[in-house]
Chain A
Amino acid sequence: MPGYDLIMYDEESKQIDAELNRLHSQSNAKVVFLVDKNGQLITSVGETRDIDTTSLASLTAGNIAATGGMARLLGEREFSILFHEGEKDNIHISVIGHRVILVVIFDQRSSLGLVRLRVKKTAETLTKIFEDLAVKTQKEKAAPEGAPSPFAEISDEDIDKLFG
Chain B
Amino acid sequence: MSFINYSSREINCKIVYYGPGLGGKTTNLQYIYKKTNPESKGKLISLATETERTLFFDFLPLNLGDIRGFKTRFHLYTVPGQVFYDASRKLILKGVDGVVFVADSQVERMEANIESVENLRINLNEQGYNLDKIPYTIQYNKRDLPNIVPVDELNRALNQRGVPWYEGVAIEGIGVFDTLKNIAKQVLFELKKGY
A residues neighboring B (CB under 8 Å)? 1-10, 12-14, 36-40, 42, 52, 54-55, 58-59, 62, 65-66, 68-69, 141, 144, 149-154, 156, 158-159, 161-163
Contacts and interface: CB of A to CB of B under 8 A. Distances in A.
Bin chain B's interface residue count: 35 or more
A19 to B, nearest CB: 14
Given A36-B95, A38-B14, A6 B1 contact: yes
Contacts of A2: 1, 127-129
Interface of B: 1-8, 11-12, 14, 42-43, 45, 47, 56-57, 59, 61, 64-65, 67-70, 72, 75, 87-88, 90-92, 94-95, 127-129, 177, 181, 184-185, 188-189, 191-192, 194-195
B87 A69 contact: yes
Contacts of A12: 7
Given A8-B3, A9-B7, A62-B57, A150 B69 contact: yes
A152 B193 CA distance: 7
Contact of A3 (B1, B64, B188): B1
A33 to B, nearest CB: 14
A150 B70 contact: yes
Nearest to B95: A38
Contacts of B92: 62, 65
A54 B191 contact: no
23 contacts: A1-B1, A2-B128, A3-B1, A7-B4, A10-B7, A13-B7, A39-B14, A39-B59, A40-B75, A52-B42, A55-B42, A55-B43, A58-B59, A62-B57, A66-B56, A66-B88, A69-B87, A141-B195, A149-B195, A151-B11, A156-B185, A158-B68, A161-B65
A151 B68 contact: yes
Contacts, number: 137
Contacts of B2: 5-6
Given A5-B1, A40-B12, A151 B45 contact: no
A66 B56 CA distance: 9
A58 to B, nearest CB: 5
Given A150-B69, A161-B65, A163-B177, A5 B194 contact: yes
